[in-house]
Amino acid sequence: QADMDTLNEALRLKIPQHVAVILDGNGRWAKQRHMPRTYGHKVGSKVVEDMLTIVDDLGVKYFTVYAFSTENWKRSTEEVSTLMTILRTYLKDCVKKSMKNNIIESIENLEQKTKNNTGLQFTIAINYGGRDEITRAVRKLATKVSNHELAPEDITEEMISKNLDTWELPDPDLLIRTSGEQRLSNYLPWQLAYTEFYFTDVHWPDFNKEEL
């Protein structure tokens, strides 16, 4: 019955193909409960896991979350360490084996194990900054111009898109930002040019199926 209710709900809604999320408010949620910010991140990570099942059931094809920005390195050592530990644990669970090496190797292992999977495509933006991404794309194209492989006047929007980190993904149809902030925070500035924005005052740890 629960699966049928989910299907009926999906049929009533216009389901976006790609949903991007800025999962904000973990620290504030924890503070309201007189708990450390790190506790909020741990609870927030569980909400991400729950959301994966929910958006997949609804028919969303791509789900992208802003997990760690280039600016997040400025946070306390304890908070950064907690965020990295959560990521390591998630990757370990995905590949069903203990992680003995670093994050990069775990990501490569996960990519190899899941390369033939179908269904929801989940993307985690880690150490990501939108302006940095565009800068790197411009450098790639500038190198081709310098090597006489490309004329400046032949550069197109599609070429720029194909040189971004998200070149394999369609642009998001919907951006959700929790916790009341109404800004992009350097998240996917190129990709969100035509995206619908939804801002909610709900902190990410309280975000659930009904909110979605």
72 catalytically annotated: yes
Which residues lie below 8 Å from residue 13, measured CB to CB, with a gap of 6+? 58
Query: Which strands sit side by side in the sheet containing 196-199, from one edge to the other?
Result: 121-128, 62-69, 18-22, 174-177, 196-199
Q: Are 100 and 37 in contact (CB under 8 A)?
A: no
Q: Which residues pair with 69 in a beta bridge?
A: 128
Q: How far apart, in whole angstroms, are the C-alpha atoms of residue 66 and residue 44?
A: 12
Please tell me which residue in 56, 57, 72, 165 is annotated as part of the active site. 72
Known active-site residue 117:
no
Q: Do 61 and 179 touch, CB atoms closer than 8 A?
A: no
Catalytic residue among 3, 5, 8, 24: 24
Residues with a catalytic annotation lie at 24, 72
